[in-house]
Amino acid sequence: MNRLIRLNEVMNLTALSRSAIYRKMKTGEFPQSVNIGDRAVAWVEQDIKEWIVSVIERGSDDKRR
């Protein structure tokens, strides 16, 4: 089951600041948020976990070069 997570949890999982998350979203480097209310957004937890794995894999690839 997909779970929606709010900004604070995304920041804790990724170690990114609020501004870094929104900057990366704007450039397409980070999963997009979904609207869950008039002034509320969240992220699909699985999307965030997959993004974290991709960052780790890219880092591993860089070390092999």
Using 50, 70 and 90 to split pLDDT, how confident is the model at 60? confident
| 5 and 48 Cβ atoms separated by less than 8 Å | yes
Give the global pTM: 0.88
By percentage, how much of the chain surpasses pLDDT 70? 92
Strand partners, 40: 37
Using 50, 70 and 90 to split pLDDT, how confident is the model at 10? very high
Provide the residue ranges of all domains of the chain, joining segments of one domain with +: 4-64
- State the amino acid at position 46 in one-letter form: Q
CA gap 18, 9 in Å, rounded: 11
| CATH class label, 4-64 | mainly alpha
Mean pLDDT, range 27-52, rounded to an integer: 97
Q: What does DSSP assign to residue 27? A: T
Q: Is 36 strand, coil or helix?
A: strand
CA gap 28, 22 in Å, rounded: 10
Q: Share the mean pLDDT of the chain.
A: 93
